[in-house]
């Protein structure tokens, strides 16, 4: 059991952190018995736990006679074995050898350790919960998108505990029988080039198809076959407008063919010719859709019949609760779904958006991500709850096709496209959680033709034993994990008792694992960043007790 002492204003952050690091904990009670006492910003004196972790960049009474402090730094990168952890607040440097947490590229340590009898005190120079709060509210800049920072904080904390001989139990963010979760999503922005006649979208298509394609071929970024497909599509445009040729931008059925039995989620815009209000830039008039829901009604029902989900691609819901309700109701009427999720068009979002979306009635949001790159805006692979909401969950987006391929963004050449995504996949295999992919409706059509990359990505993910689920099912599985509770068991019992909710909710979802993590003296002697052995037990509904 971990006893946590933190500032009152950080209590929501602490509670959310331990939903992501799902292990037994409670707020510190004087006189209670703990295996670990974790202090962040508010140190405790005379604690009797065998391990005390003191986070913070300010001097504390528990610093004692350990390593002397060298100075205060801000916005630094720390090294933890082979991993790097960005710190967005202040961080102390310590003299001496210290622990494995060091300033990147330097020998200075960001941690210090002292021992007194059977008690070990580890001093870490940054405020853990302030860092977590920053990630879940402000997020990471695009320059740090590649770091799963919140998962690395959990990883470091887990290893510090187990590395000092204290076993742990936890419910990892991995369904039983799978290595991680994949959520395939599609933003439906256009649904047909026939809706675009003599506008910027049509002219942009022609320019990229007729001129851009040959230039990309000369640069080695396209094949001759792709150039031919784009030219033929451009030449067929008059026939498409006259209704004599199939609209090559209507590709929703093609996604079903490519994905086969895999589940996915399609976010559709609520109405046409509405650029929205409150836009933070001058391009808002180009934000409007040219299709309306009646045009896609048949395709949406076909998608639902194949087990796929339909959500809202919101226009004004991010800043206006009333408009959010109107947009939500349109999707409910078209789909018959009671629970509806949302991803905002162009990823518009504000600090008030979570509360507004929750009040409007949405089940989850999937807007938190980057337009310009791939990675972890909130620093996590996991579904989380915003600190200002009671029920609305956030399914972060990690990979978007336009970020990978657009000239204004990453503009990756063919030989580097896979590696950018592979790193994110490997993080999911390492830490668990979900990889959320966004492939737009027209991205497998001329002139983009990003279908080959998408198909190869799916093949690779299939081989890695991932669970493919709709956004709603991913969120439901994480809710089930959140609702699972560790019951209090005296420390001396060396056991964990877990209560898994019963009932129909989540009954068709993969089971949870209970992971028992025990120290490994052999691995600890090798100075590895994972000095433990683990074993998983399946959690079914009801109460389970496992020896630690």
Same domain for 444 and 387, yes or no, is yes
pLDDT in tens, 278-336: 766 656 778 888 999 999 999 999 999 999 999 999 999 999 999 999 999 999 999 99
Average pLDDT over residues 417-434: 92
pLDDT in tens, 193-240: 999 988 899 999 999 999 999 999 999 889 999 999 999 999 999 999
Output the pLDDT for position 65: 46
pLDDT interval class at 71 (50, 70, 90): low
Output the pLDDT for position 159: 92
Output the pLDDT for position 70: 58
Weakest mean pLDDT among 353-367, 396-410, 413-427, 461-475: 413-427
Torsion of CA 348, 354, 360, 364, to 10 degrees: 90
Judge residue 493's burial from the number of C-beta atoms within 10 Å of its C-beta, 0-12 exposed, 13-18 middle, 19 or more buried: exposed
Same domain for 335 and 450, yes or no, is yes
Same domain for 95 and 238, yes or no, is no
- Write out the residue range of the structural domain in which residue 31 sits: 2-170
Distance CA(535)–CA(548), nearest Å, equals 10
Q: Is residue 228 part of a domain?
A: yes
Weakest mean pLDDT among 24-28, 497-501, 541-545: 541-545
The alpha carbon of residue 512 and the mean position of all alpha carbons in its chain are separated, in whole angstroms, by: 19
Q: Is residue 486 part of a domain?
A: no
Same domain for 285 and 238, yes or no, is no
pLDDT in tens, 3-26: 999 999 999 999 999 999 999 999
Q: Is residue 488 part of a domain?
A: no
Distance CA(360)–CA(12), nearest Å, equals 22
Q: Is residue 481 part of a domain?
A: no
- List the alpha helices (DSSP H) in 80-188: 128-137, 149-162
Same domain for 345 and 234, yes or no, is no
Same domain for 293 and 428, yes or no, is yes
Weakest mean pLDDT among 105-114, 129-138, 160-169, 390-399: 105-114
Same domain for 23 and 162, yes or no, is yes
Same domain for 334 and 385, yes or no, is yes
Closest CA to 1 of 24, 19, 30, 22: 24
CATH number at residue 34: 3.40.50.880
Q: What percent of the chain has pLDDT over 90?
A: 68
Average pLDDT over residues 384-398: 97
Parallel/antiparallel/unpaired status of strands 364-365 and 393-394: parallel
Output the pLDDT for position 46: 76
CATH number at residue 301: 3.20.20.370
Q: Is residue 175 part of a domain?
A: no
Instruction: Give pTM, 2 decimals.
Output: 0.93
Domain end marker among 425, 448, 476: 476
Output the pLDDT for position 403: 95
Same domain for 406 and 290, yes or no, is yes
Output the pLDDT for position 491: 56
User: What is the tally of structural domains in the chain?
Assistant: 4
Examine the pLDDT at 393 and tell me if it is beyond 60: yes
Q: Is residue 203 part of a domain?
A: yes
Domain end marker among 447, 476, 505: 476
Same domain for 521 and 439, yes or no, is no
Examine the pLDDT at 264 and tell me if it is beyond 60: yes
The alpha carbon of residue 270 and the mean position of all alpha carbons in its chain are separated, in whole angstroms, by: 25
Domain end marker among 137, 170, 203: 170
Same domain for 389 and 532, yes or no, is no
pLDDT in tens, 144-159: 999 999 999 999 999 9
Same domain for 347 and 425, yes or no, is yes
Q: Is residue 516 part of a domain?
A: yes
Q: Is residue 487 part of a domain?
A: no
pLDDT in tens, 479-495: 999 999 988 766 566 66
Output the pLDDT for position 444: 96
Distance CA(91)–CA(75), nearest Å, equals 8
pLDDT interval class at 127 (50, 70, 90): very high
């Amino acid at each position: 059991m971990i006893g946590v002492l933190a500032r009152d204003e950080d209590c929501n952050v602490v509670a959310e952190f331990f939903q992501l690091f799902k292990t037994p904990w409670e707020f510190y009670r004087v006189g209670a018995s703990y295996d670990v006492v974790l202090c962040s910003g508010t140190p405790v004196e005379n604690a009797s736990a065998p391990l005390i972790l003191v986070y913070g960049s300010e001097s504390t009474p528990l610093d004692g006679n350990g390593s002397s402090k060298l100075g205060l730094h801000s916005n630094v990168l720390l090294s933890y074995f082979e991993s790097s952890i960005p710190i967005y607040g202040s961080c102390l440097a310590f003299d001496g050898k210290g622990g494995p947490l060091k300033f990147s590229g330097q020998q200075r340590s960001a941690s210090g350790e002292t021992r007194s009898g059977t008690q070990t005190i580890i001093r870490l120079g940054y405020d853990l919960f302030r860092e977590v709060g920053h990630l879940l509210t402000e997020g990471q800049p695009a320059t740090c998108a590649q770091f799963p920072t919140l998962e690395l904080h959990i990883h470091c904390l887990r290893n510090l505990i187990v590395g000092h001989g204290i076993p742990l139990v936890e419910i990892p963010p991995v369904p039983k029988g799978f290595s991680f979760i994949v959520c395939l999503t599609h933003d439906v922005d256009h649904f047909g080039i026939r809706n675009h006649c003599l506008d910027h979208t049509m002219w942009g298509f022609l320019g990229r198809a007729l001129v851009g394609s040959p230039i990309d071929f000369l640069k080695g970024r396209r094949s001759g076959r792709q150039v031919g497909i784009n030219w033929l599509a451009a030449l067929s445009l008059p026939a498409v407008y006259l209704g004599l040729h199939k609209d090559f931008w209507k590709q929703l059925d093609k996604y079903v063919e490519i994905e086969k039995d895999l589940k996915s989620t399609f976010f559709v815009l609520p109405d046409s010719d509405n650029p929205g209000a409150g836009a933070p830039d001058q391009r808002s008039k180009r934000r409007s859709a040219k299709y309306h829901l009646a045009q896609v009604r048949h395709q949406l029902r076909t998608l639902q019949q194949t087990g796929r989900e339909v959500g809202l691609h919101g226009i004004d819901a991010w800043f206006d609760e009333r408009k959010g309700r109107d947009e939500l109701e349109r999707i409910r009427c078209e789909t018959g779904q009671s629970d509806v999720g949302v991803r905002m068009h162009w990823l518009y979002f504000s600090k008030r958006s979570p509360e507004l979306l929750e009040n409007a009635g949405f089940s989850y949001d999937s807007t938190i991500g980057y337009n310009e790159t791939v990675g972890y805006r909130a620093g996590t692979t996991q579904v989380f709850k915003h600190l200002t909401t009671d029920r609305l969950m956030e399914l972060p987006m990690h990979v978007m096709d336009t970020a990978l391929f657009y000239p204004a963004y990453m503009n990756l050449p063919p030989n580097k496209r896979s590696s950018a995504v592979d790193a994110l996949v490997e993080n999911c295999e390492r830490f668990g959680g979900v990889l959320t992919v966004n492939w737009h409706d027209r991205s497998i059509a001329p002139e983009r033709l990003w279908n080959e990359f998408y198909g190869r990505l799916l093949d690779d993910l299939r081989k890695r034993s991932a669970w493919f689920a709709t956004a709603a099912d991913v969120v439901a599985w994480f809710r089930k994990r959140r609702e699972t509770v560790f019951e209090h068991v005296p420390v001396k019992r060396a056991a964990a008792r877990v209560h898994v909710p019963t009932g129909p909710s989540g009954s068709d979802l993969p089971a949870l694992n209970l992971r028992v993590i025990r120290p490994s003296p052999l691995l600890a002697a090798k100075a590895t960043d994972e000095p433990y052995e683990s074993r998983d037990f399946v959690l079914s509904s009801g109460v389970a007790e496992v020896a630690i």
